Amino acid sequence: MSKDHHETILQESLQKLEEQQQKERLEKDADKEGGLAWREGVEEEEGEEEEEEEECKTPTSSDHKIPTIQSCPPTPKKKVRVSMAHKRKLSELHFFETTRREEVESFFRSNSHPLTVDASPGVKRRRCR
């Protein structure tokens, strides 16, 4: 390698070192001033790179927006439940249909007549202790 090549490499490294020191000074100044000076310098450098690349942007056309609601939907209605009383009535009807009517009537007639008691006065009943 020649002396010229070494000198160019040395000059390039010196330039990079100077740029780095300058950035560090700007950072220190920015910390003291609230960060504006350093941010402006960085944004200018990044701005050049961003021009080359395309950015992702949120679509703003009306096709991509959520449509506004014209009117509120109606309130939901409660479902009609079958009541338990209704089920009992069906089961009672079913009982009387399957059992013979004469048998049911005779059962109720037998319980409605008073019992006849042949109680003789001379018989004593035992009491359990």
Got the DSSP string for 56-99? Answer: P----SGGGSPPPPSSPPPPPPPPPPPPHHHHHHHHHHHHHHHS
Q: What is the pLDDT of residue 84?
A: 61
**Cβ atoms 27, 38 nearer than 8 A:** yes
Q: What are phi and psi of 60, to 5 degrees?
A: -115, 5
**Cβ atoms 40, 51 nearer than 8 A:** no
For the beta carbon of residue 17, count every other beta carbon within 10 angstroms: 10
Q: What are phi and psi of 13, to 5 degrees?
A: -65, -35
pTM: 0.25
**Tens-digit pLDDT profile for the chain (129 aa)?**
577 888 888 889 889 989 999 888 888 877 776 545 445 555 555 555 555 677 888 888 888 888 887 888 889 998 887 666 555 555 666 655 666 777 777 877 776 655 555 555 566 667 776
Q: What is the pLDDT of residue 30?
A: 73
